[in-house]
Structure 1
Amino acid sequence: MALWIASLTAVVGLLGIAALTIHRLAAAPESLTSWSDEGKDGTASVTGCDVRGPIGPGGVGYYWACTADVTTPAGTLAGVQFLGELTPDDAGKPVAVENDEGEWLRNISHPYWSLDYVIGIYLAIFALCAVAMHLATHQVLKEEEPDETAKAEFVANAVTMPVRHHEELKSNRDSGKLTTGLGLSLVVFAGFIGWLVFELRITAFWDPAYLVSGVFFLLGVVITIYGLREKTVPDVATFFVEPEGLRVQLSDGRGTLLRWSLLERVVFEPTHTLGIRKTASVQLVPSPREGDGLHAWIRGYFRGVRATYGYELSPGAQLPAATKFSKLIERQSPGLTRWPRREVRRWGFGLFGLVDRFRRTGRR
């Protein structure tokens, strides 16, 4: 929970700085040199300018903060501040300005105002995601120890876990397409922000506001890749741990028996979600005999590519189910399972399999 809160605080802070930056860019005029008398409410005479940045109320980046005396039909206003509207080049020149609900602006078009609505939409999406993650984290943290019924069910020799069909690698759900569209729109938005920073920069080359554009660009790329890779919901299969081997019963009625002599190893790789290990990837490592048909059977039904340690049997088994599966296998074939992260952390140097490997050889 502490890690989750710290991460959320950091992200909110970064998004707050990004929102301030984009708000400043949204208020920028179309040009800092154009002139228009149409609808002007007064004339400004610059009295001084200074550079603001790189971090401040205007977010990240450098911009001009100028003071000017504004002459209107009702009189002269002294010391009016203009943020990002005037520059030192305007000193000694009359600049037409307008009063926009009490705020004095350069009297030309301000076409980027819609950026405020765009960043507002993305912040709202982030808020919804943050609430969903908070509820999920709270649900995990409040889980209690399994009751007696769950403990009684633990003695069963079967466990049900999700599996992914080989042909499902080519599929992409509607939610994946929506996610891809969201990521691509974020990439376009980041490109526009980068162009706007380039147009409004007051430095010769580098402006820290480019970082905001870069962060949104990388975020859009990550979301796009995730959307393109999103696949259909995995099917489920029941795995019976028997003295002869591991019997797999698929939901469509098909199944097979994986004899212990054909398996080199069963590896469990926990996955992280906000620092909480809720699921595990279950991977099979067949014995290195291609002619036994096991490799072809795995490639034909389960995920056809190798994962970190072997063929991915289950992409996201719940951690309690994976732990139960591991203990059931160890009862029938001691030393067959591996939890590399746990074992490396416990013994180090990757030498976690030697003792069990010799024990299995002696038992055979």
Structure 2
Amino acid sequence: MATSTSAGAPSGAVDQERVQRFLEKVIADGGAAMAGLCTSLGDRLGLYAAMAGAGPLTSARLAARTGLVERYVREWLDAQVAGEYVTYTPETDTYQLPDEHAAVLADPDRSTYAAGFFTVLQAVYATEDSLREAFRTGEGVGWEEHSPALFAGTAKFFRPGYTAALVPEWLTALDGVVEKLERGARVADVGCGYGYSTTLMARAFPRSYFRGFDFHRPSVEAARGIAAERGLADRVSFDVATAQDFPGEGFDLITFFDCLHDIGDPGGALLHAEHALADGGTCMIVEPNASANAQENTNPVGRALTAASVAVCLPSALAQHGPQALGNHAGEEAIRQIADDAGLHHWRLAAESPVNRVYAVGR
């Protein structure tokens, strides 16, 4: 039996080459975590947007374009070069954001835009102390305990994927749903957040009426503002309600976008949805594309999703003291069983993306 040193490490021989490789990985991860702050600043300060399509820029020129202090801008640019986000030409002392990188960091309307992830990080790092205590007590950390950055960042992160796939791919994969929406249907979007998913559907189907529900009043108020800006307030409404008590019935479509696993009683939410569905109605459940088998999540998307589950999803469900705390990688079979117990016996994987899996569920 191996013994341990006072530091808790095995006293037997270790493979020093493996130690070195792992040390390099940890240092790289730490560097990426630190660089994430710079990415967030670049997004929030408009630096990436100012560089997009602008060609080579000096630090002074970029500072002038953004109204920022040149010394800080130059330091930020050098960090971007080190991370290979930005290129540098020493002969002209200029920096450039490649068009391909701008598609990821500078344009919120592109499906590849990913800067919202770093807005989320602002919130989760700020609640580390609460999360540490939760590990000791078993209590949760509710969504409402996080800063507004979590709500804004989550909406910002998921919006590009929803914009690209929700109407042209996901809804069309649901049997008969598009036809109902084109004729005029009633839709409930549960856990709607800022309502981007709700308004995307409403813009595509002007004969249908949409109701968004979320427990978080500031998000509901933001959603109302977005709907009004887009001229949709006459057939889109948002109300404060939970997944277990949202009002209304006879809905032709009820959607859960990346939220069911955050609920402390997902079975209760689906049971309420089953009661609220119209005859022949459909539930669309969108969940993270992560596996219940930990070994299958050893990829960049799986790593990001499972880490988010530790930081946000599982603590949120535990904070509600419900019967189940799924985490965001419980897997299809676990959620399918919960739906079946709620009376939603028809289950089908309708669509899939690198980040999400979309299930069509009905009675």
TM-score exceeds 0.5: no
Higher strand share: 1
The TM-score range, normalised by the shorter chain, is under 0.3
TM-score between the two structures when normalised by the length of structure 1: 0.25
1 or 2 for the larger relative contact order (CA 8 Å, sep ≥6)? 1
Higher helix share: 2
- Choose 1 or 2 for highest CA Rg: 1
